[in-house]
């Protein structure tokens, strides 16, 4: 099946927005058997859109369009599809009701501009969008299938995963192709690549390595006539990779370090508290991104000055002697977090976010400490000295350490990674 | 001048690489007077490339191609341009010498595969590339100009800045096109759209409206024979928009709410502290994304349980009476933040992040409070009940309120927004 992506939006042509949707879809399309041949980016002009859709229909079996489904005058994807197929949009009463209900739910008044979001053409079915006002369009006519999805990534990805991908998979007969991603932290891309070199020879599952914001991702893609066969191939490749990489593998697929550590905390019945300097709240914010985190996260302190560190119980003399950016201060902060919040585990970060040095210490230098009933430990790390990277990497690193400590605290036999298919 | 970008590379269609080159160029092209109309992404196939170049020549004045200039068999940009123009590539001796010298300099042996990087067609001139083995091609034929640049971003950006942009600027005599973006918060896209409807009639500057994570963005694009004329058109349109939208306009262009509030805090010499429940640290983290924020941010408390709220001084009786999610608790939290950290301003959030209700209150309900020497105020807000959206919107909203209070605290006459060009 030949596929094509049409990214709609003048903001893409002006460079105001990076087109991450196309990248997301490019990664997803092979999984439903679509061979992506073209990506076309086009502005919010009806003529331009009509030209692009017209060409796409001539050369592609499946066309995925993102964007241009909003309520305003420059949202023209619906109009372009209608024009190319020679059909006329009309208001669908059920969609209009849904839209009214959406506005009611949030106590807002619906503008007359929104009405066009409730229109369909005869060849189109609506695709539900609980996250926004724009339903998608699923259009089948002649040999072509056009799927129009809203542009905001949150709405787009949900609609793809829940509504569009399963339907395409059903539509496109073919081999089962299943992916699994293992996520690692602690080694660089080149080092990991060398360690797993032998695995590249397998071909099926095919292995790819990617440097991502939360570490190194290893992606396995298995292909087989039956789903169970593909899964077994993935399972055995996963076992081999985990043998090679050991504890640096912290999760798989949709797992994040915050969900992995959250599950361990909940299972062990342990409470966490944080005290942050260099990460400025990002550590606590990441922990609380997980629904249900109020069950194990007690709270946190953010001490962005030395005074505020001692305010909460880090000895002023200790800071003076060793500096605010030191093993000693990090450990004292972890202890303070644990005691202040009556938590089982205290996790702390201190360091230099940059761009300027602090206490003569360079941007990118970070200390992370963790405290539990057995004592307090800390590590020193050096990250690339860009402020957002320092914050992000320190949080990932802190959660990775938290995971290690939680695995140590698991009762005998508990420290067993399950296969992700389990 | 109508412009088009052609991004070459199968890796883009496989989603292995995000196409940052197109975004970079999209931001650069308006500055040299090119109106970007299309971005086409195409794989490493000669037929596909020929089709895309053929169409581009038919509709665009300036075509910028990135990628496909490497030495291997699947680097086919040169071959495609030659085929479309009906010309034959031949080895250019000067380029070949340069290539040999490049390899010598790095002590490497040149592969016979590299020879094709030293070819030209009669209509093409080479563009020097000190960073790699692939020179660019500058091709003029008939009405079209094709500029082929290597794909690696470091090589691409240098070649664009030093070699291509000045040459295009010289070539393209004509109109100046300048953009400005105003950023608003507090009204929906459709409502804002209705208010500013009269501004759409202007045509020049052209007005676009976009829903963004930090609110509504209004983009003005002015075109004129002289730069000063374009700027004056933007200035007068900005005045009209600000008249219509009032205080809901909080910034422009690259400004963010955290930089805007940070600058106000620094200018007024005021210190900020936070106490967060529903935002779980994201508010403090956003504030500390700004370099230099340690100059005005004292620190923060994250109280993710009712116990930890009273631990820091929010009266337990008050929480019991009004609930943790209430005006009263939010105000008490803002006061605690201000007092605990000896700050001038305390900013607090409490609410239900979801997915489950709390105290019988629905996900998405949030109270934000702000405390200064004059007293304490709070607002109630209802956001779409998706956890990440609730956190994000509460932070934007809190910073928006902080900005309003800081403007009130400015000495007489200080509360004047300057035009962004100032």
Return the number of CB contacts < 8 Å for A and B: 241
Quick: pLDDT tens for A362-393: 999 999 999 999 999 999 999 888 899 899 99
Tell me the three-class secondary structure of chain A, residue by residue. Answer: CEEEEEEECHHHHCCCCCCHHHHHHHHHHHHHCCEEEEEEEECCCHHHHHHHHHHHHHHCCEEEEECCCCCCCCCCHHHHHHHHHCCCCEECHHHHHHHHHHHHHCCCCCCHHHHHHHEECCCEEEECCCCCCCCEEEEEECCEEEEEECCCHHHHHHHHHHHHHHHHHHHCCCCEEEEEEEEECCCCHHHHHHHCHHHHHHCCCEEEEEEECCEEEEEEEEEECCHHHHHHHHHHHHHHHHHHHHHHEEEECCCCHHHHHHHHHHHHCCCEEEEECCCCCHHHHHHCCCCCHHHCEEEEEEECCHHHHHHCCCCHHHHHHHCCCCHHHHHHHHHHHHHHCCCCEEEEEEECCCCCCECCECCCEEEEEEEECCEEEEEEEECCCCHHHHHHHHHHHHHHHHHHHHHHHCCCCCCCCCCCCC
Residues of A in contact with B384 (CB under 8 A): 106, 131
Q: Judge whether A421 is closer than 8 Å to chain B, CB to CB.
A: no
Residues of B in contact with A355 (CB under 8 A): 291
Q: Which of residues 351-410 of B touch A (CB under 8 A)?
A: 353-356, 364, 382-384, 386-389, 391
pLDDT band at A57 (very low <50, low <70, confident <90, very high): very high
Is the pLDDT score of A334 beyond 70? yes
CB contact under 8 A, A23 and B18: yes
Closest Cβ opposite residue B23 in set A15, A210, A299: A15
Helix axes A257-268, A387-409, angle to 10 degrees: 30
Is the pLDDT score of A420 beyond 80? no
Residues of A in contact with B36 (CB under 8 A): 13-14
Q: Judge whether B293 is closer than 8 Å to chain A, CB to CB.
A: yes
Closest Cβ opposite residue A111 in set B13, B194, B311: B194
Q: What pLDDT is attached to residue B173?
A: 53
CB contact under 8 A, B304 and A311: no
β A215-224/A206-212 pair status: antiparallel
C-alpha angle with apex B344: B340 to B350, nearest 5 degrees? 60
Q: What pLDDT is attached to residue B421?
A: 34
Residues of A in contact with B356 (CB under 8 A): 291
Q: What pLDDT is attached to residue B168?
A: 85
Q: Judge whether B291 is closer than 8 Å to chain A, CB to CB.
A: yes
CB contact under 8 A, A26 and B13: yes
Residues of B in contact with A274 (CB under 8 A): 281, 302
Q: Judge whether A37 is closer than 8 Å to chain B, CB to CB.
A: yes
pTM of the model as a whole: 0.71
Domains of chain A: 2-171 (3.40.980.10), 176-252 (3.30.70.2860), 257-409 (3.90.950.20)
β A2-8/A35-42 pair status: parallel
Quick: pLDDT tens for A388-415: 989 999 999 999 999 999 999 988 654 4
Q: What is the C-alpha to C-alpha distance for residues B406 and B419, in angstroms, rounded to an integer?
A: 19
CB contact under 8 A, A282 and B285: yes
CB contact under 8 A, B284 and A302: yes
Q: Which of residues 123-182 of B touch A (CB under 8 A)?
A: 179, 181
Compute and round to an integer the Cα radius of gyration of chain B: 28
Closest Cβ opposite residue B281 in set A42, A208, A288: A288
Q: What pLDDT is attached to residue A422?
A: 30
Closest Cβ opposite residue B37 in set A11, A17, A48: A48
Closest Cβ opposite residue B20 in set A18, A48, A286: A18
Q: Which of residues 212-271 of A touch B (CB under 8 A)?
A: none
Point out the least confidently predicted range of A204-208, A283-287, B180-184.
Answer: A204-208
Q: Which of residues 319-348 of A touch B (CB under 8 A)?
A: 340-341
Q: B366: closest CA among B355, B347, B350, B348?
A: B350
pLDDT in tens, chain B (422 residues): 899 999 998 888 888 788 889 999 998 898 787 889 999 999 989 999 999 999 999 899 999 999 999 888 889 999 999 999 999 999 999 999 999 988 888 777 788 888 999 999 999 999 999 888 899 999 998 888 999 999 988 899 989 988 898 788 777 756 666 778 999 998 888 899 999 999 988 888 989 888 888 999 998 988 887 778 888 999 999 999 999 999 999 999 889 999 999 999 999 999 999 999 999 999 999 999 999 999 999 999 999 888 888 888 999 999 999 999 999 999 999 999 999 999 999 999 999 998 889 999 999 999 999 999 999 999 999 998 889 999 999 999 999 999 999 999 988 654 444 343 33
Question: In this structure, how many other beta carbons lie within 10 angstroms of the beta carbon of residue B409?
Answer: 18
Q: What pLDDT is attached to residue B14?
A: 82
């Amino acid at each position: 099946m030949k596929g094509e992506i049409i990214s709609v939006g003048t903001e893409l042509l002006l460079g105001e927005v990076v087109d991450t949707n196309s990248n997301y879809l490019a990664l997803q399309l092979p999984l439903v058997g679509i061979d992506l041949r073209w990506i076309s980016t086009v502005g919010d002009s009806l003529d331009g859109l009509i030209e692009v859709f017209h060409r796409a229909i001539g050369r592609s079996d499946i066309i995925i369009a993102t964007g241009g489904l909003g309520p305003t005058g420059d949202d023209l994807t619906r109009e372009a599809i209608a024009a190319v197929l020679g059909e006329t949009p009309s208001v669908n009463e059920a969609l209009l009701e849904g839209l009214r209900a959406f506005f009611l739910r949030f106590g807002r008044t619906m503008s007359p501009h929104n009405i066009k979001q409730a229109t369909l053409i005869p060849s189109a079915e609506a695709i539900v969008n609980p996250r926004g006002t724009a339903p998608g369009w699923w259009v089948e006519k002649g040999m072509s299938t056009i799927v129009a999805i809203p542009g905001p990534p949150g709405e787009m990805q949900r609609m793809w995963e829940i509504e569009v991908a399963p339907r395409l998979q059903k539509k496109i007969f073919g081999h089962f192709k299943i992916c699994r991603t293992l996520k690692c932290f602690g080694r660089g891309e080149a080092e990991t690549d060398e360690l797993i070199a032998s695995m590249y020879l397998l071909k099926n599952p095919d292995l790819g390595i990617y440097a991502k914001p939360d570490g190194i991702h290893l992606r396995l893609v298995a292909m087989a006539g039956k789903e169970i066969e593909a899964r077994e191939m993935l399972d055995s490749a996963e076992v081999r990779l985990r043998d090679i990489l050991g504890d640096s593998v912290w999760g798989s697929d949709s797992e994040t370090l915050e969900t992995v550590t959250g599950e361990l905390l909940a299972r062990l019945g342990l409470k966490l508290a944080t005290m942050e300097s260099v990460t400025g709240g990002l550590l606590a914010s990441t922990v609380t991104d997980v629904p249900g985190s109020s069950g194990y996260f007690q709270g946190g302190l953010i001490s962005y000055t030395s005074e505020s560190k001692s305010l909460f119980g880090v000895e002023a003399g200790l800071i003076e002697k060793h500096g605010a950016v030191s093993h000693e201060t990090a450990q004292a902060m972890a202890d303070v977090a644990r005691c202040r919040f009556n938590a089982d585990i205290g996790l702390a970060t201190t360091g230099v976010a940059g761009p300027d040095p602090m206490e003569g210490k360079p941007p990118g230098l970070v200390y992370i400490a963790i405290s539990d009933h057995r004592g307090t430990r800390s590590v020193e790390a050096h990250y690339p000295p860009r402020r957002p990277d320092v914050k992000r990497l320190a949080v990932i690193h802190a959660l990775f350490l938290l995971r290690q400590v939680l695995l140590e605290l698991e009762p005998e036999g508990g420290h067993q990674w399950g296969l992700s298919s389990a």
